[in-house]
Each structure stands twice: as C-alpha cells, then as structure tokens.
Amino acid sequence: MSDRFRGLAMHRVAACLVAGLGFLATALTWAQVANLPPGGPRPPNWSALPDWNGVWERDGDIVWDDRIPVGVPQRPPYNEQYEKLAAGAPPARGGGRGAGGMPGMMTMVFPMEVEINPREVLLIPESGPARRIYTDGRLHPADPLPNSTGHSIGHWQGKNLIVDTCCVKDAVRLPGGGPHSDALRIKERIYAPDAKTLVDEITVEDPQAFSKPWTTVKTFRRRPDWEPVEYNPQENDREFVIGDKPAAPAPQY
C-alpha cells in the first residue's frame, strides 16, 4: 500500500473513531444516574401497594379546574412580569393546552394506564409520553436533565401517594398555553376513595412566575373492560356506537 493510500485509510479510521466517540457521548445523555442516598428509605413491599393497575378515564370538562364557573378565565396566577410574557407568547403546539407534559398531562382527555410496582408508579397515556413516579427512596438528580414530564419522586402515606415533580423543560407550556420558569414545582396527593375512582390533588408552585400556588383536583374513573390503543386521529377514526347512537368523535388538538 502506498503512503498516500495508507494515510487516507488512517484518516478514515480516525474519522470513524471520532464519530463513534461522538455517538457515545450523545448516548450518555439518554439516561441519568439515579440519586439513591445510602441508607435511604427502602421500597415498599408489594403487599402494601394499592391496586390501581388498569385503564382510567379522566372525569370532568377539558379545563384546568372544574370548580371554576364556566366563562371565568382559567389562567395561572402570574405575577406582573410573567403576565406580560404570557400575553406576548406565540400559540403553543397542540392547541396550547399543555397536555403533552406536566402538569397539563394530568388534565388529559385520553385514557391513561396505571402500573404500580415497589420501585415506581408508571402512568401511560394514550397520547403523549409516559410518566414515572419513583417510590424507591431516591431524590431528584443533582444535575437533572429537564424533560416534558419532569422528574417525579413519591412516597406512600398509607394508600396515599405524595408526589414532588421538578425539572419540566421550558418548552412545555402550562394548560392554556402560558410559560413557566425553571423554578416550577408540582405537588400531588393521589388516592383512591373507592375501587372505581382515582383522585389527583395538584398544586403547582412557581415562585418566579406565580403570585400564589395554582391548584386543581382531577378525578379518574376506572374502566376495567378497556385496553389502551395508540392515539392517531388520522388512522384511528372509526365511528363507535354506544347503544343505538354513534359516540361523539374524539377531540382534535
């Protein structure tokens, strides 16, 4: 092999190595190290966990808070600075409801599957990303990677799940399409008053953007004879019949 071709071959090998290292560096951002403190709380036993497994449908209207009278604006309690930012913000994708991330995904109209194990509570909506609530005693990461559902840690108080969520990325809008700061925190108390009902009491705090906490209560109804499907309004557009009348078409966002 001539020196010219040998040099060309070495250049290509070096380029492949650099590309491979670049891919590896990128791949390392696909996950983050769990912040499990030494001697921290142990995961609960299976026998202590409530039976929330299955598919649930959110009850109520497609609004942030059903307790607010119809016609009254449902806006976050912004301070003066963020009120101006919200007024000048461009429309959000998906109609501005914020259903693709936290906290808006907990107001979703789509069915949601719940799976519980000692390590986590997994919430899987038909539309949008799944959400993990870790219950194994871990803390929030020291250097978290913001994402659409945030980072959620919870602990059980009897059959009540107490949740703290941080690290929702800036691009995720609040219900209604408004912005938030990186100080956003979401507190939840999730419980089942009976076998067919699941309640999520939500408090959203943002000391940089809000003048006070923003609260709501969401109720979900158990659907034991449902199974989840992929939400695709272009393909899953069949007309379903309930009794002798067609069901209302799925809302388009």
Inform me whether the pLDDT recorded for 194 exceeds 70. Answer: yes
Q: What are phi and psi of 198, to 5 degrees?
A: -130, 130
Inform me whether the pLDDT recorded for 90 exceeds 90. Answer: no
Please write the tens of the pLDDT for every residue from 148-167: 999 999 999 999 999 999 99
Residues 86 and 179: their CA atoms lie apart, in Å, by 6
- 63 close to 177: Cβ distance less than 8 angstroms: no
Sign of CA dihedral 204, 173, 177, 90: positive
Inform me whether the pLDDT recorded for 7 exceeds 60. Answer: no
Q: Which residues pair with 159 in a beta bridge?
A: none
Both structure tokens of 147: 């994402």
Inform me whether the pLDDT recorded for 17 exceeds 70. Answer: no
- Give the domain ranges of the chain: 46-225
The third-level CATH classification (topology) of the domain covering 46-225 is: Lipocalin (2.40.128)
- Strand bridging mode 54-58 / 131-134: unpaired
How does residue 8 score in pLDDT terms, banded at 50, 70 and 90?
very low
How does residue 84 score in pLDDT terms, banded at 50, 70 and 90?
very high
How does residue 2 score in pLDDT terms, banded at 50, 70 and 90?
low
How does residue 5 score in pLDDT terms, banded at 50, 70 and 90?
very low
pLDDT at position 94 is 43
What is the pLDDT averaged over residues 171-199? 96
Inform me whether the pLDDT recorded for 174 exceeds 90. Answer: yes
SS3 238: coil
Inform me whether the pLDDT recorded for 217 exceeds 80. Answer: yes
Inform me whether the pLDDT recorded for 3 exceeds 60. Answer: no
How does residue 91 score in pLDDT terms, banded at 50, 70 and 90?
low
Element (H, E) at 83: helix 80-88
